[in-house]
Structure 1
Amino acid sequence: MKSKNKFLALLVGLMMLLILAACGGGNDAGEKTTTDGPAESKSTGGDDGKSESTGEKRKVVVGGLFDLTGGTGDVGTPFAEGEQAFFKHLEKTGGIEGVTVELSGKDYAYAIPEAQKIYQQFRDKDKVSAVLGWGTGDTEALRQQVANDKLPYFSASYSENLKNLDESPYNFLTAASYSDQGRTIVKYIKDNHEGDNPTIALLYNDTAFGRSPIEDIKAYAAEIGVEVVDEQVIDVQATEAQSQLLNMEKKNPDYAIIQQTWAATSTILRDAKTLGIDTQFFGLNWASGEGVIDIVGADIAEGYIGILSHAMPYEDFPGIAEIEEYLKGEGKTLEDIDQKFVQGWTTAKIMAAGIEAAAKQTDGELNGEAIRAGLESLTNLDLGGLGAPVTFSADNHAGTEQTRLGIVKNGKWEQLTDYMSYKD
């Protein structure tokens, strides 16, 4: 009797296993199933950006270090808004085929320790494959870590130090370095000055950003016969600069080059006007843009010359039309943005081009190494006039040496020169 009961129990158990197997819906190939719908087809190649092994869209997370509330937040905020807007535009327009791209951005308030903390969160928690950074100090502090982690790093810093691939193998410059900008200004002064050899002063803040181009500018000026007669250190958030300007006036320079952001630049121009100083002021790229005019007014800004590394929103370039179309969808117009927004948009656009190139080069994971290779394949990337075309290679991560100058006329920036290099 007991044997018969055991036999019946085994038979019932076997039947239950067969029923469960039939309901499982599995397949011999082990394909992934989802509750949202059928699994995507496997890719037959890398051109559509899909993973050949899974057929699913690959995901790239880009970290964004923003200065919204720190010492350079005056220009950092519109720059970050431009980066964020580009990724939103990318999503709206279909993005990169076969690739989902996300931007994870955080405000680090221009504090290097906070930048290091957030970077580690990007790497360990968000699993980013690339980073859009901001300041010179934090970018230079992170470059060894970035290299170890193999994460391509764009920065709003254009420090000459980042050109050194031995020390910064994963850093890329998307515009002319501060040093190249300064050299271009010195060359322009030399070529256009009338009379005896020109003299210049250098006005900068005591940060890695402020100091970055100073020695290179001095060396190049000496090389081409332009004398640097004075240097003055002015805080990046200075609201008064009369004492420094009075000291500068004693040396009577023909020209002064400013390495600041909008706020301190405006202080310098305002106090120079108050003191009746007639030196011609030039600014590097963060010392240029609409914010200077907005702060000091058109009368004081009139005749001020600066680096226009990127397009003004009202300039007639093909790339501006793309931004205008995006803004229209947001219920905004070009009047709602400024040049630093365009600069941020353009930086993100170059990063996206590198990710797209990487997606075409490999069917595997779009990690930092793959994106670096994608960026290094970009040659003469046309930005639609938003900035000078950029070229990267395995031997050169400085996208361009070219920049241009603009001048304030009747309360508006106008192009003074085409894109050019001091080597021209």
Structure 2
Amino acid sequence: MKIKIKKLMWLTLAITLTLLLVVGCGSQAPKETPEKKSGEEAAPPEQKEPIKLGAIFDITGATGDVGAPYADGAKNYIAYLNSQGGINGRKIELIDIDYAYKIPQAIEAYNKLVKQHKVVAILGWGTGDTEALVEKIRQDKIPYISGSYSENLLEIETHPYNFLVAPSYSDQIRFVLQWIKDNWTDTSRNPKVAFIYNDTGFGRSPIEDGREFAQKIGVDLVDEEIVDLKALDATSQLLNMKKTEPDFAILQETSNATATVLKDAKKLGLTTQFIGLNWAADEKVVELAGNAAEGYIGVIPFAFPYEDLPAIQEIKNWVESNGGNWAEKNQKFIQGWVSAAVMAEGMKRAGDDITGEGIQKGLESIKNFDLGGLASPVSFSAESHRGALKARLYQVKDGKFVPLTDWMSLPER
């Protein structure tokens, strides 16, 4: 009997201990939630994937005199856009490569951007390289806005992803020739013109169209001279030109070569009126040529940083607030800014379809895109990628380019 009682006591004790363990394990005090410290922000929402935009720039090559500030403008616009939240909540990741104005390096850069970095669009640069990449651009469906305004890039069937944000070089030379004809007052003869250009795809781009248009409207083309992009002397070419006594000489060059021509023309006492297409007209020309640039005329599709425009003031404020020196920015900076802005507008209009085809359709939907006077309004369509239909002339007076004409429609081709 005593044994049974002892067994019962041990059994009761075992049950009691088991219950205590179960209750103890089930009633642990909850873990304390860390208190949010004063001023501590909540975790940011998950960031969306950036949109990858490629860029092929000439910063150190033969056209670096205008290519470097253009690239600077494009980069600054992308930084500005990202500071405003990007596009539809997505930042832009700009991946840029300096190809030094060498076509093989441009092709290599393109392949790297498309194959390795998977960019969905590209800001390009030169005529020769842009035209060399045409087939790749079409096959890869890469929207492409470059610094080249070659007329060839406007053929929609062969260039469905190339877009021009300024008048083509051919449009520009026709515009200048028409202005010469309209303002010529000597009824005894036609005005005489010479063409000065470099022997590159860029330099040659408008020449054939210029020849044809001059003949069509009654302007006599009396001479053509080749001046290298990096020429430090153009005396021999100008002496050849002098023999033909042109009233006007149209330049398809960049700043450095243009300044060389103007300085040598002054030394030789030439009275020819020089007129440059857009890459041959900016502050750099005036800086390099000095008083030899006085009276020089240029086709100006983009605003100068010193113009009194709200859009210019906004850019200036942003640049300076981010540590930039506005005094160092020139008109080619604005040109790069505008090119990037137009590409971004196409991306914005693409919505969630951030693909080559989506961005192409976005760009083609742009109608009278107001750039605040930085350039003429831009329009595209599925039938035309000729973004600008107006141009204007500026002339150097007292060391500064000032308006000579208002915006004028381009002549019929």
Normalised TM-score (structure 1): 0.85
Deviates more, 1:312-321 or 1:276-285: 312-321
For residues 130-279 of structure 1, what are the structure 2 equivalents within 5 Å?
130-195=121-186, 196-279=189-272
Instruction: Tell me, yes or no, if structure 1 residue 334 matches structure 2 residue 322.
Output: no
SS of corresponding position for 2:216: helix
Residues 358-383 of structure 1: CA deviation (Å, up to 9, x unaligned): 11xxx34x111111111011000000
2:307 paired residue number: 315
For residues 26-37 of structure 1, what are the structure 2 equivalents within 5 Å?
none
Q: Is the 8 A contact 2:223 2:244 kept in 1?
A: yes
1:306 paired residue number: 298
Moved over 6 A (4+): none
**Displacement of 1:95:** 1.9
2:77 paired residue number: 86
SS of corresponding position for 1:230: strand
Gaps of 5+ in 1: 1-35, 41-55
| AA at the equivalent of 1:393 | S
Q: Is the 8 A contact 1:245 1:272 kept in 2?
A: yes
Gaps of 5+ in 2: 1-41
Q: Is the 8 A contact 1:58 1:98 kept in 2?
A: no
Q: Is the 8 A contact 1:318 1:384 kept in 2?
A: yes
For residues 363-378 of structure 1, what are the structure 2 equivalents within 5 Å?
363-364=352-353, 366-378=354-366
Deviates more, 1:393-402 or 1:70-79: 393-402
**Displacement of 1:103:** 0.8
| AA at the equivalent of 1:388 | S
1:419 paired residue number: 407
Instruction: Tell me, yes or no, if structure 1 residue 349 matches structure 2 residue 337.
Output: no
SS of corresponding position for 1:251: coil
**Displacement of 1:332:** 3.5
Measure, in 1, the Cα distance between the counterparts of 2:216 and 2:45: 64
CA RMSD of superposed structures (Å): 1.4
**Displacement of 1:330:** 2.0
2:21 paired residue number: none
Measure, in 1, the Cα distance between the counterparts of 2:48 and 2:134: 30
Measure, in 1, the Cα distance between the counterparts of 2:298 and 2:326: 21
Partner of residue 128 from structure 1, selected from 119, 141, 144: 119
Q: Is the 8 A contact 2:85 2:91 kept in 1?
A: no
SS of corresponding position for 1:120: helix
Normalised TM-score (structure 2): 0.87
| AA at the equivalent of 1:110 | Y
2:90 paired residue number: 99
| AA at the equivalent of 1:233 | I
Q: What percentage of aligned pairs have identical amino acids?
A: 51
**Displacement of 1:37:** 5.4
